[in-house]
Chains A and B, each alone.
Chain A
């Protein structure tokens, strides 16, 4: 339990019902920087919305979530050279819901090198009536690489903070481990898809570590999903190494080791 506020990580499977809904026609606001250098892999960090609620409390939590997103972008960018993953900030862009990440939009984002898109929402929390109504601040993750190449896993995740109005400490002070976990997993999946074996092996390894830590920090109900995600990363890394060794055009370091190794402590 983190602090005195409720904190949970919720996983939302990419349900076919949602994909088929009318909301799929909703539009995403364009963001010029996404199209810049389509060969670079990117995490897109969008805006925070507070739909249907313009109160001061919501605005404060919205600003705190915005601060969190922007500082996360800066943190990702600091590691950009090592990971070859760029953080792209898109002010004003808010996906209306998950259903926009389908069809041509999904293909276009993937083609432009986007591996994950993140945005925030602030809403009144259910059951939050009373003198100090609670708010739910939520970071939403659309893992484009999973949606595009591993649809069976479900590519939507969210991290929610239920907090009394006017208090944003949990939002701001939360570490970035889930973002790191999902961003590195998304990147690794893309590397594997693009047969960039060395970078893929390195990045799956990093993802495993961040996912394991996310599982440790998760509530009991969510830990199993993180553990499954880690199993996927481990299995994928082994498969990637096998693919590299079987590829006659590959002459990299994985042929020295001969197996997937080194990722555990």
Chain B
């Protein structure tokens, strides 16, 4: 009972801050894994699950070493500090309580985001969740970390559509992201790394009375160097940002104050776990989509700045990982291209988006949605304005057929070709690169696939 009273008091404090404070709020909280909840007012919530050992439930339930146990909290604090730039973000660190079952990513996802999600968990329609979890292997003086990342918006598909007028009805071209779940490359962290990270953390994880290094310390964030401290309930809302400092208000009754905001280039954890850069890029993407498509969430950062945040984060991720994970890198290009396209319909933006989508196809040529994304921009470039390019249209037709060749069942790929037929038919000038008979053959075949054309 006390726990729930405390919880609702914390929620009330957050809602008050979100509604009544001019600066949109960011917040973080540690919660038990068997009761996952997010900040319903936040357009995007980052959910960090405890990293565990691999194996059976019993093997996963083994208590982590001190160093491994610190990792989740380090990531939480790092995420909150880094992501205050989005102005409205929730960061939730799920903690396994003593005696409870290990934290299973699938179970948490189902409770929060799945079609039968728990309405009490706080995710509202259109709101977004990014979940990161992982496995740890310890050997000697090293930790090996394998991270996974998954994201979604509640009741919303990651689809983009562009519609062109045609004489035979609207021609709509659609595509989705190539994937919404990725395995990130495994990383090695030495215990010396952990020690230096903790040292830096201890210096920074204090709440000061004023935004400067010499101001009086009024509170401390949970000391991740002390085993058991991570289970203490705590949470903060960010209510202001001044330069390198963020002003926080405790959700659990502690004194307000300022904590230092550290640039990602100097925060050592990100050097060791560049997947946090990838996480940051995904958050930027989701912030943009929620801002454009969902109501009732606080408006935060303008699109061009969000695009720049994600671009920088992806560049840092690539710099650290090279080509270790083509699927993740391809997703990164697709995210950025989509953001560029959502940010502007100008020809130069469409060209830049197409370049990103082209990189994505190069990395995962087997992924039909990567090809669909490239095709949406291909159609816009060849055939949306005047003069029309017959060579461009021919190349686009080939790409549309290639997408169906890659995945003959994909609805977007099939619908995009049908839309392109409508577009070509409405051209006043004759099309020479393909005969009427071939178009008719394709059209009949499409009709047989779906029964609707």
Residues of A within 8 A of B (CB): 60, 63-64, 66-67, 70-71, 74-75, 78-79, 82, 91, 166, 168-169, 172-173, 175-176, 197-199, 201-202, 205-206, 208-209, 213, 251-257, 259-265
Contact = CB atoms under 8 A, between A and B. Distances in A.
Given A166-B140, A253-B410, A256-B401, 5 more contacts: A172-B188, A213-B326, A254-B408, A260-B405, A262-B404
B409 interface: yes
A256 B414 contact: yes
Contacts of A168: 139, 144
Contacts of A261: 401-402, 405
Contact of A202 (B181, B366, B414, B442): B366
Most buried by B among A63, A71, A173: A71
Contacts of B179: 79, 82
B135 A74 contact: yes
B405 to A, nearest CB: 3
Contacts of B408: 197-198, 201-202, 252-254, 256-257
B366 A64 contact: no
A251 B188 contact: no
Contacts of B414: 253, 256
B413 interface: yes
A34 B419 CA distance: 44
A175 B182 CA distance: 13
A255 B405 CA distance: 10
B324 interface: yes
A91 B406 contact: no
Contacts of A64: 137, 139, 144
Interface string B309-328: 00000000000000011100
Contact of A60 (B55, B139, B365): B139
Interface string B136-149: 01011010101010
B275 to A, nearest CB: 14
Given A172-B144, A198-B409, A202-B409, A256 B54 contact: no
A74 B104 CA distance: 12
A76 B186 CA distance: 15
Nearest to B369: A82
A209 B449 contact: no
A5 to B, nearest CB: 14
Contact of B181 (A70, A78, A197): A78
B405 A66 contact: no
B407 to A, nearest CB: 5
Contacts of B445: 253, 255-256
Contacts of A213: 326
B432 interface: no
11 contacts: A64-B137, A70-B54, A70-B135, A91-B55, A169-B144, A173-B188, A201-B407, A202-B407, A209-B364, A252-B449, A253-B445
Contacts of B449: 251-253, 255-256
Contacts of B402: 261-262
Interface residues of B, number: 48
Contact of B137 (A91, A172, A205, A251): A172
A257 B401 CA distance: 6
Contact of B144 (A82, A173, A264): A173
A75 B135 CA distance: 11
From B148, B410, B445, name the one whose CB has the most chain A CB atoms within 10 angstroms: B445
Secondary structure at the A interface, as helix, strand, loop or mixed, is helix
A175 B362 contact: no
Interface of B: 54-56, 135, 137, 139-140, 142, 144, 146, 148, 150, 179, 181-183, 185-188, 324-326, 361-362, 364-366, 368, 371, 401-410, 413-414, 417, 442, 445-446, 448-449
A256 B446 contact: yes
Contacts of A82: 179
A71 B146 contact: yes
A263 B365 contact: yes
B183 A75 contact: yes
Given A91-B56, A169-B188, A173-B144, A256 B417 contact: yes
Nearest to B411: A253
Contact of B407 (A79, A175, A198): A198
A176 B325 CA distance: 9
A198 B411 CA distance: 12
Contacts of A263: 365-366, 405-406
Contacts of B135: 67, 70-71, 74
Nearest to B182: A78
Contacts of B362: 265
A60 B137 CA distance: 10
A173 B186 contact: yes
B442 A256 contact: yes
Considering the complex of A and B, which 7 residue pairs feature the smallest CB-CB distances, nearest first?
Answer: A253-B408, A262-B405, A262-B402, A70-B54, A261-B405, A206-B366, A67-B137
Given A199-B409, A202-B366, A256-B446, A63 B401 contact: no
B194 to A, nearest CB: 17
Contacts of B183: 71, 74-75, 78, 176
Contact of B405 (A60, A175, A201): A201
Contacts of B56: 91
A206 B56 CA distance: 30
Nearest to B365: A265
B403 A262 contact: yes
Contact of B368 (A63, A202, A209): A202
Nearest to A81: B181
Given A91-B55, A205-B366, A257 B405 contact: yes
Contact of A71 (B54, B139, B409, B413): B54
Given A70-B135, A74-B135, A264 B417 contact: no
Contacts of B403: 262
B422 to A, nearest CB: 15
Which has the most chain B C-beta neighbours within 10 Å: A66, A205, A253? A253
Contacts of B139: 60, 63-64, 166, 168
A79 B183 CA distance: 10
B120 to A, nearest CB: 27
A213 B362 CA distance: 12
Contacts of A265: 361-362, 365
A252 B408 CA distance: 7
Contacts of A197: 408
Nearest to A203: B366
